[in-house]
Structure 1
Amino acid sequence: MKKIITLLFFLASLLLAACGENKEQQADPGDLSWEEIANKASGTTVNIHMWGGDDGINQYMDEYAAPKLKEEHNITLERVPMDTTNILQKLQSEKQAGKKDGTIDIVWINGENFKNAKNNDLLYGPFRDQLPHFTEYYDQDSLAFQYDFGTKTEGYEAPWGKVQFVFQYNSDKVKEPPQTFEELKQWVQANPGKFTYPNPDDFSGNAFMRQLLYATVESPKDIVEEEFSEAYAAEQAEEMWTYLQDIKPHLWRSGEQYPATLTELDRLYGQGDVWMTMGYNEARAEHLIDEKVFPSSTRSFVMEPGSLGNTHFLAIPFNSANKLGAMAAINFLLSPDAQYNKLKPDYWGDNTAISIDKLPAEQKEKFTSLDRGKSVPSTETLEESFLPEADSEYVEWIKENWKDEIFQNQ
């Protein structure tokens, strides 16, 4: 009998110890120093739920990020492929059920998904400003980090990377690409039929018009910071509609037909029917050149007032069971080494959100000398030209109004 009591006492002690460790792990990170967070995160497992549809992204996470995080910080990173909308549905269900210890520690997120998650209290935070790598290597005053498609981030997500809207052109046909939208208009008029843009139901066509909107207003900063309203949008867009009407007769097929998708525009460009295309990824032309869809003479450019940019972020769910580990893992993913390896084209090729000027000389040289391909603008050009997205409601507003203002206004 004594043996049984002793065994039960021993098991109860183990259970209490485990509960104590879990309680320690659940300590509010806001009450701890970074050294305490890093120490308590060591030896834990962090589950990151993220879209898994790209082999290069998956290889970066599985072959570089996870092994390096384990080696340097003794944290096991488990990648769980899942679409972001499904992640948010799961978190919403757990919140409604009162589940305090969730199975998701990090979410890859931005845009409308972040807005919904933040408005429904599905995220833990603010945590971003506690991350040493963010405070040391990132521009903390950047609009790109303060707003996510017009929603204030308020420290509830940390910038992981970004893509930018650029134009591609055939340098054998176009010797000097335009530097402004006014110069683009002159070029289109001088080269009838050699330029067009996708219908704004397509994401890239819509981005082209949002890029134009930025160029025709007094200050893009106002568009980013101003809360969306139809009245404000209509007032700001008057010059944009005039511009599109002015170039319409000189477009491919005289503006009577528009490519339905970016893929269709790329095909026209690859065939030589038009001499420019565009896209929301500054490095996208490289693989299209390799696949001989685009001519090898393809190059990219950005115009004033800048390049529309889309920052993507990492966030922590409200009920993460390992918030300390999540913060330590995110801090690692924001580090110069992790960002550099993410930038390399042999893995992901995703542009960095880091501020190159804040890096030590040796690391700065690594970033600026990395060859992303002849068609990709320099890292400095992209960083200097970056313009954050405005409220996501502009996307639908442009779709609805373009048909009346441009397409049906023959």
Structure 2
Amino acid sequence: MKRWLRPITSIVAALVAVTACGGGTPSAGGTTQPSAAAQDTELIFYSGGDTNVQDLHQKQIIPAFEKATGIKVTFTFLEHGTGAQGIYDRIKAQKDAGKTQWDIDLWESDTGYYTRPDDLFLQVSPTDIPNLSKVPKPTLDFVQNKAVPYRGSSVVLAYNSDKVANPPQTYDDLLTWIKANPGKFAYNEPSTGGSGDAFVIAMLYKYSDYNKYVTQPFSASNEKDWDAAFAALKALAPSLYSNGVYPKGNAGTLDLLNRGE
């Protein structure tokens, strides 16, 4: 029997943010003057993530938005976020070239892209989006009001209750369990799915200060804490599935569980 253990507190996936970018005539300070023709008829939206995010957009959010507004959404999905740097470079190149019309209106990606110093993204406020007043201020401060959180993600521990009678309840308990049960745990390669990404980030938090990452923009000074975390991940690898094989995506990890491996 497969069961799902609710999130371990220190392994909570960060909010994925959506931000308005080009889609109009760029002006100073990274803001845009919307192009009426483009804004009123079509929205060009790029997103990335695992297949659950793709389904959320294609089956729920986009159809509801198109029905409510009459605006057609042209949607491009980059599975597992592959190509995100290329999208950022494309947006920056259009700004640097002085383009009067950008070809991406909305982009969903890692929050780190929105706070880079290139000033590519539109800052928004409750005047633009009334419900933004309901978002905790530290969340918006973290992305300098250049992104809008629209969903939350929780990482869960999937396990076979026929084989695991007492699943670990904390991250430290999980690490102990992995070492005591070599070959019986897997997490996906971090760039291919949120659960693997969260597992690695939780290790960074274990050897650093959680508050430095969630209450302020990223600082390179945090990286001094990472060596110990990466060393711990490397030491853990021989105890993982097949001596350190990392499945592709969340689905790949669940496939192993479903096959009884």
Q: In the alignment, what sits opposite 1:222?
A: 212
TM-score, scaled to structure 2? 0.62
- Equivalent residues in 2 for 1:168-207 (5 A)? 168-198=158-188, 203=193, 204-207=195-198
Corresponding residue SS for 1:210: helix
Q: In the alignment, what sits opposite 1:146?
A: 141
> Within 1, Cα distance between the matches of 2:86 and 2:226?
35
Residue 81 in 1 paired to residue 75 in 2? yes
> Within 2, Cα distance between the matches of 1:63 and 1:200?
30
Q: CA deviation at 1:220?
A: 0.6
Corresponding residue SS for 1:50: strand
- Equivalent residues in 2 for 1:9-408 (5 A)? 45=40, 47-51=42-46, 54=54, 56-68=56-68, 70=69, 76-82=70-76, 88=88, 91-100=91-100, 102=102, 105-115=105-115, 119-124=117-122, 126-130=123-127, 131-135=129-133, 137-142=134-139, 145-147=140-142, 153-198=143-188, 203=193, 204-217=195-208, 219-224=209-214, 225=216, 227-229=219-221, 232-238=222-228, 241-242=231-232, 245=235, 247=236, 250-253=239-242, 256-262=243-249, 264-273=252-261
Distance 1:244 1:45, change over 3 A: same
Corresponding residue SS for 2:131: helix
* Unaligned runs of at least 5 residues, structure 2: 1-24, 28-35, 49-53, 79-83
Distance 1:90 1:77, change over 3 A: farther
Q: Which has the higher helix share?
A: 1
Q: Is the 8 A contact 1:197 1:205 kept in 2?
A: yes
Amino acid at match of 1:241: A
* Unaligned runs of at least 5 residues, structure 1: 1-25, 29-40, 71-75, 148-152, 274-410
Distance 1:195 1:108, change over 3 A: closer
Corresponding residue SS for 2:205: helix
Q: How many residues align?
A: 211
1:200-254 Cα distance to aligned partner (Å, 9 max, x none)? 565554442222221343x31124445124xx53434425634763x5554444x
Q: Is the 8 A contact 2:238 2:244 kept in 1?
A: no
> Within 1, Cα distance between the matches of 2:117 and 2:113?
10
Q: Is the 8 A contact 1:49 1:87 kept in 2?
A: no
Larger radius of gyration: 1
Q: Percent identity?
A: 22
Corresponding residue SS for 1:209: helix
Distance 1:208 1:63, change over 3 A: same
> Within 1, Cα distance between the matches of 2:255 and 2:163?
17
> Within 1, Cα distance between the matches of 2:233 and 2:92?
44
Q: CA deviation at 1:189?
A: 4.1
> Within 1, Cα distance between the matches of 2:118 and 2:253?
38
